[in-house]
Structure 1
Amino acid sequence: MGVLDGRTAVVTGGGRGIGRAVSERLARDGALVAVHYARQEDAAQETVAAIGAAGGRAFAVRADFAAPGGAAALWAAYDAHPLATEGVDILVNNAGAATFAGLADTDEETFDRALAVNAKAPFFVTQLALPRLRDGGRIVNITGTPDIALPAILATIMAKGAVNALTVSLAAELAPRGITVNSVGPGITETELNAAWLADPAARAHAASRSVFGRIGTAEEVADVAAFLASPDSRWVTGQHLDATGGLQLSLL
């Protein structure tokens, strides 16, 4: 019996990278998982198929968070799916978009897109989830690690920092319902997003050196942290940010 048997989870950006690893882990723990995607339907359906092949249950839903009304579109797609349950137990706000631009190169359109996907979407996805979220539920925000300078993705890291702030305030607001709200900050992780960069041996060696373990993290390792926060074992943990960087900040001391 899985620790999440009988529960339903929604994972935004759940078809690739860390989101796929989270979707697969929650399904393995027994949850029915709604795998959200924006554009890459094939990847989402592959994730759903992999979950089914492993004995789990999942279905895909589409919504574009860069477009107005993206959060409402997510829940409309969820409600329309025949496998959807009336209530939701776990919401993982994982969808994000890295905008590679510093201060001088960030125009208003770039800034607005970074905030729409990385900050606005988690806010309104969560807002619209609350009538569906059962008491005792879990909200897990995949964000970024505070106190690390990343000028190359300035608007993105600013937006993710906003979700860290949201996590703390929302945890206090939802505590009377027994709902926990926490965030996870991945470090340098082996995903499709980083594949081209990490294909360079020098870049890979540098990235590995940033962790005190001397290697690059995996999406599954981040997913394990998210799975803990989604489980009954995390009932006494809320308003917290869990560093899942492999000790990146320690290596900078």
Structure 2
Amino acid sequence: MNPESAPSVLSASELARFRLAPNPGPMSLDGTNSYLLGGPGAGSTVVVDPGPLDEQHLRELAAAGTVELILITHCHADHTAAAARFHELTGAPVRAADARHCHGGTPLTDGETILAAGVELRVLATPGHTSDSLCFHLPGDGRHGSVLTGDTILGRGTTVLDYPDGKLGDYLATLDRLEVLGPATVLPGHGAVLPALDTVVRAYRDHRYERLAQIRAAMAALGPDAGVDDITDAVYTDIDPAVRPAARNSVAAQLDFLRG
């Protein structure tokens, strides 16, 4: 298909569509997935993570249906930079965990249930990637429901902990909380839609514990004076230099967890 004729808004699940923002990169993968949620015949949409400040992207989102509400999964600019402008374009309130990213709306609270655009959403506090990270559970989206995971679970690769704001202990508790949602469809902030959230969570947890074991081994080999950079070099031996700062952050988060 000619890219110019490709649809800009694609189906992700029974109740969710998405548009890929034009911000690919080492950390954002193919770009930010901006989701549009709506039940059959609702006549309006809920937009999750309007993404970077790109006027064409925002106008395409606005053209996909009357926007009733805008939700934010977490504070990072690739999810929030367009929020104020999208509020101006649509008049819809923006709600996030952090009041600084709310525009015309109130902060979201853990356990809150939202009914909008013919969809039921349940707000879950899921810190770890950042302290303000949220996931949105749609229990009525298909046989097993779906979960919009922001950067807490990605469509490929693994999640970076934005230490010191993001903490490994919080993240492990978040994985436990998500696992009990069972085989829900994963609607990630970056990358492809995935089946079976509980299976993905178990793989993520295994990966975290494997990394912790590697860091323990590096600490034992390098001695008590080894710093974060020494351990990063020992554990991450073959990574793209562009993502080394993220790897270093993850090592710092894991050292904090082990020493704390």
- TM-score, length-normalised on structure 2? 0.38
Higher RCO (CA < 8 A, seq sep 6+) = 1
- Higher helix share goes to which structure? 1
The structure whose Rg is larger is: 2
